[in-house]
Amino acid sequence: MPRLGKLLCLRARFYALAIVLLLFFITGVGWGQSASGRFIQTDTTQFLWAGSNQYRLWFEPRQRIAQELDAMNRANLKVLRIFLDTQHESHEDPPSDYTFEDSIGTYHDKWLVEVDSLMFECHERGIKMIIALANSNGPEPYERIYGIVGKYSSQGAIDAYKKRFEHFLNHKNALLGDKAWKDINDTIWAWEIMNEPGAEEAFVNDPLSIAEKHKIIRDFLDTLATCLKKLDPDTYVALGIAGKAKYCNKASGDDIQTLGDIKNADIYTLHYYCDDVPRLVADLNYVRSIRKLFLVEEFGKLRGEGMDSLISYYRYVTRVCRENGIPWMFWRMGHRKDTTDWSIFKDDRVWQEVVIPEADSIARICTQDKWNINVKVCTNVVEERRSDAPQAFQLYPNFPNPVRLSASGKGATTISYHLPRAAPVDLRLYDLSGREIAVLLNGPHSGGTHRINWRIENRSAGLYFCRLRSKDLVQTQKLMIVQ
């Protein structure tokens, strides 16, 4: 009987995997497996968005919080990243008791209550949150007790991080129905293990070999990603790594490709303070090859370099991200207007001339709300939850794709879609900047499966997006044109 049970379990898993693969080939959507059998969508057109860092916004007066979040909404910035920790920055002048954990295991929940208020305001505006649960450069007690290497490698530190994470994820938000944070999945988009593990100067300069540093950081991230997935299997886990881009050529322990596949992590991050596009693209291709999500989680420039310099740099980074289908978050949303700060403000030219247009162009391409897509594979059941589009409403990948142009610059491709019933339909094509290039359909249409042939002339080679809208349902597919 036990042998029969094992055979049935294996058969169930086989059928579950077959169904997921069928979804992949039918819809053209990429799926990658994360913790506990969960599958995440890795089609980049559905995870292309813009956001902002303001790691201590929860600490600001309520009026300031409302103003900043309203500015994010107007600018189509969809995600806010905060730290449950602070930075060593004297100008912030926090109160003397400002710490989430002043000694190992002694937590100050009054600051979690302040985060509750920010979380509520984000929830009311539909803004998602990435919450970094620790900070490599923060003042909390781990490095003081365990040392620069020991805070990543000693069992005492690892156990303390696990208890810290458990305490934070089980904290209840009285403003959101007394739910534990781990159950507020409609607002908390990702838990981040730590901001920039292995990238601080003291660790970079430690005499350990680069191979030893990478093993320490990999084991640290792997252990704590597993911990977070056990605590909350329904929320993404982000690594928070700088990706060796913050200190470029120094011996940090966070090179993305050297770290390899962290099994229970969903999101690989890059803090892009260099201008090495080939490295960024190589990291992106590697992360996609292991079926994970890739995020430029930080980029920025000192205000002291001048507004023209900031505008040029922001345009460069957002363009690179848009052209490669990478979501981006700048560092950081307004704090201080002086030359030693990295902030930008809503009345700055860089906000008006770059942030708003770039975020808006992404929003016009990716109008679907893809925040709540999961495929859970249990022992014998496949469950697909798609909050934004019934399965019967479907835009299929065009064929052929890519479309190869003739010597005269002409080509054609067939776009297919399915409607469950008669409804108004709008089918349009956009380039990477979000500019509309063709309207293929706009009007009432009968139910069923339909095909339309798009004849291509005078179009440059590159990536385009096909968007199908019917009432409040929207789906998008990538379309590639090659010479």
Instruction: Give the CATH number of domain 41-376.
Output: 3.20.20.80
Express each pLDDT in 389-418 by its tens digit.
335 788 888 888 888 888 888 888 889 888
Choice between 47 and 51, residue whose per-residue pLDDT is larger: 51
Express each pLDDT in 181-200 by its tens digit.
999 999 999 999 999 999 88
pLDDT band at 380 (very low <50, low <70, confident <90, very high): very low
Q: Tell me, what's the pLDDT at 38?
A: 35
Environment class of residue 436 by beta-carbon count within 10 Å: exposed (0-12), middle (13-18) or buried (19+)?
exposed
Tokens, residue 418: 């399915």
Question: What's the chain's average pLDDT?
Answer: 81
pLDDT band at 246 (very low <50, low <70, confident <90, very high): low
- For the chain, which residues make up each domain, given as ranges? 41-376, 394-482
Peptide bond into 400 cis (omega under 30): yes
Strongest mean pLDDT among 60-69, 211-220, 424-433, 471-480: 211-220
470 CB contacts (<8 Å, ≥6 apart)? 393, 419, 423, 424, 425, 426
**Span 406-435, mean pLDDT?**
87
468 CB contacts (<8 Å, ≥6 apart)? 395, 417, 425, 426, 427, 474, 475, 476
Q: Tell me, what's the pLDDT at 85?
A: 82
107 CB contacts (<8 Å, ≥6 apart)? 100, 101, 164, 167
Query: What is the spatial distance between Cα 371 and Cα 336, in angstroms, rounded to a whole number?
Result: 32
Q: Tell me, what's the pLDDT at 169?
A: 98
Choice between 108 and 238, residue whose per-residue pLDDT is larger: 238
**Span 466-476, mean pLDDT?**
85
pLDDT band at 366 (very low <50, low <70, confident <90, very high): low
Fold of 394-482: Immunoglobulin-like (2.60.40)
pLDDT band at 247 (very low <50, low <70, confident <90, very high): low
> Which among 1, 26, 49 is positioned nearest to 293, based on CA atoms?
49
Express each pLDDT in 209-238 by its tens digit.
989 999 999 999 999 999 999 999 989 999
